[in-house]
Amino acid sequence: MAALCGHGAPIALLSPAYNEAVTIVQSVRSLLSLQYPAFEVIVINDGSKDATLDTLIEAFELKPVSRAYDLAVPCNEIRGVYASPRLPRLVVIDKVNGGKADALNAGINISRAPVLCSMDADSLLEPDSLLRAVRPFVEDPERVIAVGGTVRLANGCRVRDGRVVEIGLGRHPLALFQTVEYLRAFLMARLAWSRMGALTIISGAFGLFRREAVVRAGGYTRGTVGEDMELVVKLHRQMRREKRDYRIAYVPEPVCWTEAPESWRVLGRQRSRWHRGSLETFFRHWAMFLNPRYGRVGLIGFLNIFIVDVLGPVIEVLGYILIPVLWLLGILSVEYLLAFLALSFTFGITISVCSLALEEIQLRRYPKARDLALLTLAAIFENFGYRQINNLWRIRGLWQYLRGSESWGVMTRKGFRAG
Amino acid sequence: MTGGLLGGLWTASLLMAASSVLFMTGLVIARLISEAGRARRRARREALVADMMSAMDGEADAARLKSEVREPRLVARALLELSTLIRGRELAAVTAALTQAGAEPALLRLMRSRNGEDQIAACEALGLFPSDKAAAALKTRLKRRTSMRVRIAAARALLQMGETPDLNDLLAAFDIGEVHAPLELSAILDEIARRATEAYLERLKSSRDAPALRAMMVGVLGRLGRYEALPVLLGAASDPEPSVRAAALSALGALGHPDAEPIIAAALDDPVPEVRAEACDAAGRTALAALAPRLAERLDDDEWLVRFRAASALLRLGEAGRETLDAAAGRASPRAMRTAQMVLAEAAA
């Protein structure tokens, strides 16, 4: 707590890497150049099959070191810890493969800072993102246990030396649709949920956590695909059970850039996995659903997951199937169908437009008026086709969940646009 | 009835669609207009910066500067940016030329703007124009119920111009609630504690502030490094709030005064792990060799953080601590043994 009361609480950046040999050096250099007074970068090589570890050893002149650590949360065997006297802020862990959650747990065990920052190895952080994200921990050290930041899409942005130097919009329709989705999710939904004290997810691409609280909750749950959401729900559960006064905050400014898939197949896999993660979390913590003991999280947050994630895709897809069937049977009022469809689509468009307006009035990150016009068009056209396909991916996620699949699928990335 | 419902659905849809499209069209048009304005502002700003650079060499075009200060928003931002690059005589030459051009009254006007960002820029820029009028305006701003960021900017500007706001007035102005203490306040408190140490310690003794603020104020004393803070820190180490106790022990460690030994020794048994960990650290940093056996006990603490800090503190104690750690590595409980072995291995590497 004392460490949280000064100018900057020490932060351990946990960056799990699996087969990232091509990009890892640039990512680590970018992390090491962040503007923050006290941080260490812990790269966790999660049993990569490629030359990730060798590349790191060679690029940063790493040597095996002894580091005192505790197995506070479960993780697969740590084979070695590497560091370099030239770069005291960098620590590399080599461990037996166990997935992202397991890798993050290894990072938690090795870390010594009171605040952890979990991120993806291929995400790019804005130079001052840590300074802004740590603010709630310093301003309210007794209560804040986690802080989420905004994740934006780097498609179309110009990237140099691991930094976004020019913000732009991806031109692929999928990138545009996802940009609108991300704005809606972060600027509207997460902000609102955090204000209500019922935020149930902090993106795995960028989130800060108080180490002590994460350790008490048992760390990340291994073998899950939605480990980011699961951890936040676990933290809520733990704090409510212990009757502790706590806060999980969301700060819109700290920005982490990530690359969105521009291939239908890869995007479909990602969305199915996200949906599976959401269902896993919901059913794993089923006891919280509508349980007043868990306050707003149980009563409103879980009700939202139930309606949006559990029932939502099933009802929507069922609707798409039933409409032609009922029409053929002659028991469908086409007039009402069209009126309800219009209401549903225009409501979706209005929500998206509100997110765009928030972005434009408060943040204004996209530099050109043309970008704003393109995003408005995307907010309209995503309702016709993209939204329906998204639902099919979510149904696939439901099917995979029911079959007990634990696969992550292959996430193919195109790479950032060089500056 | 059904016809009414149908009509209602369509009306609602059309209203939402129309308002969305109109709203976004408005925003796009506003953006187009502001883009055109931005290009013009950029050109004016470049001209202003060039004139300010000339002022550094005493070659300012007074007439042009006079016309430029009619845009105080631009002056405030350009001056603040320039002040991060230049200091001393050069900065003084720029502010003198701007004062002659009438920048101070222009910035005072900007401070009354409705736009919060303008108010902040005006406050910060006024910090570079030390005058009674500017100081009085900043003090008034500090007391007004404006946004917290504006009040912080006013406090920083006052410090910048050499004024030291009264700590009690300052904290009353910030009206800090139950838990929040803004991060920027820490830097302001650093400066006030340095300039008015006695008043600062008096305020802390009164214990009337919220725990987060008290913890922040105690943390400032650790960075201040003055022994007169010792009695207050010793008192704060027994505060009912764990965050204040932890901050006090951290500050005591930074101060390194041996009189803190009994308090640090007592804190080694604190019920809160973070406090025990800070106590271990403080014992090591203060080189309290007499506490080596107590630190050895903490090697078997339930919390890893405490065990690790106890072992690290023992290493700092020199020979006596090293011997204690070596002994623990050979024949203590399995938990203490593992901690001692790992810390010794890390130290040896």
Give the tens place of pLDDT for each residue, A309-325: 999 999 988 988 999 99
- pLDDT at residue A417, as a whole number: 62
Chain A, 187-226: which have a CB under 8 Å from a chain B CB? 212
pLDDT tens readout for residues A92-148: 999 999 999 999 999 999 999 989 999 987 788 998 899 889 888 877 777 899 999
Closest CB to B17 among A72, A349, A361: A349
Angle of helix B334-348 versus helix B304-316 axis, rounded to 10? 50
Identify whether the C-beta of residue A297 lies closer than 8 Å to the C-beta of residue A234: no
In chain B, which residues have their Cβ closer than 8 Å to the Cβ of A91? none
Task: Report the mean per-residue pLDDT for chain B.
Answer: 89
Closest CB to B16 among A139, A143, A346: A346
| Mean pLDDT (whole number) for B75-99 | 90
Answer yes or no: do B28 and A368 touch at CB < 8 A: no
| Mean pLDDT (whole number) for A25-51 | 91
To the nearest whole Å, the CA of B50 is away from the closest chain A CA by: 26
Is residue B22 within 8 angstroms of chain A, CB to CB?
A: no
Closest CB to A2 among B250, B304, B343: B250
**How much of chain B exceeds pLDDT 90, in percent?**
52
pLDDT tens readout for residues A242-290: 999 999 999 888 789 998 999 999 999 999 999 999 999 999 999 999 9
* Rg, chain B, Cα only: 29
Is residue B28 within 8 angstroms of chain A, CB to CB?
A: yes
Closest-CA residue of A relative to B179 is A140
Give the residue with greater pLDDT, B320 vs A98. A98
To the nearest whole Å, the CA of A248 is away from the closest chain B CA by: 14
To the nearest whole Å, the CA of B136 is away from the closest chain A CA by: 29
Is residue A65 within 8 angstroms of chain B, CB to CB?
A: yes
Is residue A350 within 8 angstroms of chain B, CB to CB?
A: yes
Chain Cα centroid distance, residue B266? 31
In chain A, which residues have their Cβ closer than 8 Å to the Cβ of B242? 1
- pLDDT at residue B178, as a whole number: 40
In chain A, which residues have their Cβ closer than 8 Å to the Cβ of B19? 350
Is the model's pLDDT at A195 over the cut of 70? Answer: yes
CA distance A133 to A146: 10
The strand pair at A87-95 and A39-46 is best described as parallel
Q: Which of B1, B10, B29, B31 has the most A C-beta neighbours within 10 Å, making it the best mutation to test the interface with A?
A: B31
Read off the tokens for B185: 């306040």
Is the model's pLDDT at A224 over the cut of 90? Answer: no
- pLDDT at residue B120, as a whole number: 92
With H, G, I as helix, E, B as strand and everything else as coil, classify residue A192: helix
Closest CB to B186 among A2, A7, A112: A7
Identify whether the C-beta of residue B6 lies closer than 8 Å to the C-beta of residue A335: yes
Is residue A253 within 8 angstroms of chain B, CB to CB?
A: no
Is the model's pLDDT at B173 over the cut of 80? Answer: no
Give the residue with greater pLDDT, B172 vs A164. A164
| Mean pLDDT (whole number) for A378-385 | 91
Is the model's pLDDT at B179 over the cut of 50? Answer: no
pLDDT band with cut points at 50, 70 and 90 for residue A1: low
pLDDT tens readout for residues A330-343: 888 889 999 998 99
Read off the tokens for B116: 């919060």
Read off the tokens for B10: 């369509």
- pLDDT at residue B38, as a whole number: 85
- pLDDT at residue B181, as a whole number: 53
Answer yes or no: do B223 and A2 touch at CB < 8 A: no
Answer yes or no: do A65 and B346 touch at CB < 8 A: yes
Answer yes or no: do A357 and B305 touch at CB < 8 A: no
Chain Cα centroid distance, residue A94? 24
Is the model's pLDDT at A6 over the cut of 80? Answer: no
| Mean pLDDT (whole number) for B80-94 | 89
| Mean pLDDT (whole number) for A16-21 | 91
Closest CB to A2 among B14, B19, B249: B249
Q: How many CB atoms lie within 10 A of CB B273?
A: 19
Domain boundaries, chain B: 35-163
Q: Of A161-175, A403-417, B312-326, which gets the smallest average pLDDT?
A: A403-417
pLDDT tens readout for residues B185-198: 888 899 999 999 99
- Residues with Cβ within 8 Å of A20's Cβ and at least 6 positions away in sequence, in order, are A27, A48, A50, A52, A121, A122
Answer yes or no: do A67 and B305 touch at CB < 8 A: no
To the nearest whole Å, the CA of B128 is away from the closest chain A CA by: 24
Chain B, 315-344: which have a CB under 8 Å from a chain A CB? 339, 342-343
pLDDT band with cut points at 50, 70 and 90 for residue B266: very high
pLDDT tens readout for residues B116-149: 889 999 999 999 998 999 999 998 888 877 777 8
CA distance B292 to B278: 15
Bridge partners, residue A372, by sequence: none
Instruction: Give me the count of residues in chain B.
Output: 349
Identify whether the C-beta of residue A223 lies closer than 8 Å to the C-beta of residue A101: yes
Closest-CA residue of A relative to B183 is A139
Give the residue with greater pLDDT, A406 vs A279. A279
In chain B, which residues have their Cβ closer than 8 Å to the Cβ of A6? 186, 219, 222-223
Is residue B345 within 8 angstroms of chain A, CB to CB?
A: yes
- Helix (H) or strand (E) holding A279, with range, is helix A264-284
**How much of chain A exceeds pLDDT 70, in percent?**
95
